[in-house]
Amino acid sequence: RLASIRQDQPHLVGTTVDMREMPDMLPILAVLGSLAEGRTVLRNVAHVRLKESDRVAAMLQLRRMGARIDVQGEDLVSTGVGVLQGRVLATHNDHRVLMALAVAGSRARGITSLSYPHAYRLSYPTFLEAMNAIGIPMRVAAPGMSPARASERPAAAVAQA
């Protein structure tokens, strides 16, 4: 069974999604829920803790960016905040967590720095190019460069090599 997300409105609106059939979507849906107007409930998330990383715990890092997100029983519940704050976050070398947090960084004030910056290559080798092509600036900073010096213009997400 396929799921689709369609954006017809100029802003995101919270929703409820059962994660049993699509656990790999949890990271990006958690980010979208943190940015959406209203409440988003991702139901039945316990099994998502057993993927490449504990993706539920990884997405709770969105709190550090200002998101209102919490685990309630078997659900991951968020109330949208609209704009996040850039932070240094751990991706746990999980490609889906990295890509989702990079998208969160694209809606953050300031720079978001992510660990394991090349993890996206596992499932989406052209992720950075695709994001840049649609106007979301992302890049991997050279080892040893601070994010602030790595670019003359602010980047949505900077992953440290």
Identify the H or E element spanning 75: strand 75-79
Distance CA 138, CA 136 (A): 6
Cross-strand bridge partners of residue 141: 160
Residues 70 and 98 in one domain: no
Domain boundary residue, one of 56, 79, 102: 79
Q: The domain containing residue 42 runs over which residues?
A: 16-79
- For residues 128-141, average pLDDT: 89
> Domain boundary at 26, 53, 79, which?
79
The answer to the question of residue 71 being in a domain is yes
* Residue 1, domain member (yes or no): no
Residues 132 and 64 placed together within one structural domain of the fold: no
Does residue 8 carry a pLDDT above 80?
Answer: no
Read off the pLDDT band of 140 (50, 70, 90).
confident
Q: Based on the fold, state whether residues 55 and 114 are members of the same structural domain.
A: no
Q: Of 79, 104, 119, which residue is a domain's last?
A: 79
Q: Which of 117, 129, 40, 139 is nearest to 81 (CA)?
A: 40
| Catalytic site includes residue 24 | yes
Q: Are β-strands 68-72 and 75-79 bridged in parallel, bridged antiparallel, or unpaired?
A: antiparallel
Catalytic residue among 8, 24, 70, 94: 24
Q: pTM of the predicted model, to two decimals?
A: 0.83
Q: Considering the domain boundaries, does residue 99 fall inside one?
A: yes
